[in-house]
Amino acid sequence: MNPTRTIPAATHQEVIRRLFEECWSKGDIGQLPELFAPRVALLGEHMHMEGQSPYGPDTAREEIEPYRKAFPDLTLPVVSCVAQGEWVMSAWEGGGTHQGELMGLAPTGRRLWMAGIYLARVVDGRITAARQTVDTLAYHRTLGALPEEEPGAGTHAYAFVTGDDRLDMSPGHGLDMSPGHGGDAAAEQGAGLVRRLVEEVWSGGACHLLPGLLHPARRVEENLSLPAPGGAEAAAARHATLLTAAPDLGVRLDHLVADGDLVGYGWTASGTQTGPLGSLAPTGRRFTFMGTSISRITDGRIGDTIHRYDTMALLEQIGRLPPARGTLEIFG
């Protein structure tokens, strides 16, 4: 018998809460050896981690310390958590004031706001595998880490990818994705709906299924954009635009965690930009980037949803974003 199967999901959620609300937010890095296994498997397209030593508590400390020095008032509270078995998916958001040098970027005094979703496998009380999804473009731009952008490659591209260029860098502007209710039957239903959305619509192009999958009052928050309508009509129009940019678009469902009326899912999108991406002309380049989402199931359909994905990785790969000043990657 595997003893980890008897550990309550609440215990696993507490591990992630301590990572963000005590280590990242309070600088209590002495807890890291308790929270991480010596070697942690990195899941997904973490290209910036290549060539580094195996991830673990020492690597986490090397990431957290520079941010704590640069942002002494940094806070990153967990705002939503979905747990199933050994797996926990947590959405976090927060910020701080840029008061110190950060990886080559001089202090700006600007207020930074960040949001991400962290997926972890917790075994015997420690993280053994993890996947972090953060919108790196938003905080690069906030801190002035990007050179002057070519026309159409900045706000317009960001607005297309996120659905809204009106970024709100303040707490509490987004959707309420606090823990929900419902038992195993609700979780199973939600997981099935998400599988169909990703596999049949996002990858298969079956947009005629959207009215049966998406709640008409659904709202979507993409990265740091303001929540926008996300019903069947809006979703179909957005998917058609994506297929115009990349007719060979494919989306792979990587991870699925369901807990009552909340469903968390990690995915990877790949394609070739042979058509216009909003105002961006086609470059013919391939791209692969990952995202992570949490949806609430409402009246038997997919309701309010938050998406977090690396916009910067997409724009860099299609050759429409200049190199950044400094290296502001965050894994955690």
Q: pLDDT tens digits, residue range 172-191?
A: 556 888 876 778 888 999 99
- pTM, whole model, 2 decimals? 0.88
Q: How many domains does the chain have?
A: 2
Residue 323 in domain: no
Closest among 221, 245, 287 to 80, alpha carbons compared: 221
Residue 254 in domain: yes
CA distance 246 to 253: 18
Residue 167 in domain: no
Check residue 47 and give its pLDDT.
Answer: 46
Tell me the CA distances in angstroms from 179 to 189, 216, 260, 306, one per residue in order: 17, 22, 9, 14
**Residue listed under structure tokens 């939503």:** 80
Check residue 182 and give its pLDDT.
Answer: 78
Residue 177 near residue 306, CB atoms below 8 Å: yes
Show which of 85, 118, 145 is a domain's final residue: 145
Check residue 75 and give its pLDDT.
Answer: 94
> In degrees, to the nearest 5, what angle opens at C-alpha 105 toward C-alphas 29 and 62?
20
Phi, psi angles (nearest 5°) of residue 250? -135, 140
CA distance 210 to 196: 10
Check residue 71 and give its pLDDT.
Answer: 94
> Quick one: 10 and 135 in the same domain?
yes
> Quick one: 229 and 139 in the same domain?
no
> Quick one: 137 and 193 in the same domain?
no
> Quick one: 194 and 139 in the same domain?
no
Encoded tokens for 326: 């400094």
Per residue in 287-323, pLDDT (tens digit) is 998 999 999 999 999 999 999 988 888 888 888 775 5
Show which of 96, 122, 145 is a domain's final residue: 145
Check residue 173 and give its pLDDT.
Answer: 55
Would you write out the chain's pLDDT as a tens digit for each of its 332 residues?
333 334 455 688 999 999 999 999 999 999 999 999 999 988 876 544 455 557 899 989 999 999 999 999 999 999 999 999 999 999 998 889 999 998 788 898 988 888 899 999 999 999 999 999 988 777 777 777 766 544 444 443 444 444 444 455 454 556 888 876 778 888 999 999 999 999 999 999 999 999 999 999 999 998 887 888 999 999 999 899 899 999 999 999 999 999 999 999 999 999 999 999 877 889 999 999 899 999 999 999 999 999 998 888 888 888 877 555 444 455 54
Check residue 179 and give its pLDDT.
Answer: 73
Check residue 156 and give its pLDDT.
Answer: 39
Encoded tokens for 319: 């050759």
Show which of 87, 120, 145 is a domain's final residue: 145
Closest among 289, 186, 165 to 228, alpha carbons compared: 165
Give the contacts of 184 (CB within 8 A, at least 6 positions apart): none
Encoded tokens for 28: 């209590």
- Looking only at the bridges linking them, the beta strands covering 126-134 and 111-123 are antiparallel
**Cα dihedral 194→195→201→204 (10° resolution):** 170
Domain enclosing residue 303, as ranges: 184-317
Check residue 198 and give its pLDDT.
Answer: 97
Residue 171 in domain: no
Which CATH number does the domain housing residue 65 bear? 3.10.450.50
H or E stretch including 160?
helix 155-162
Tell me the CA distances in angstroms from 304 to 54, 174, 234, 326, 329, one per residue in order: 37, 11, 13, 35, 28
**Residue listed under structure tokens 């007719």:** 247
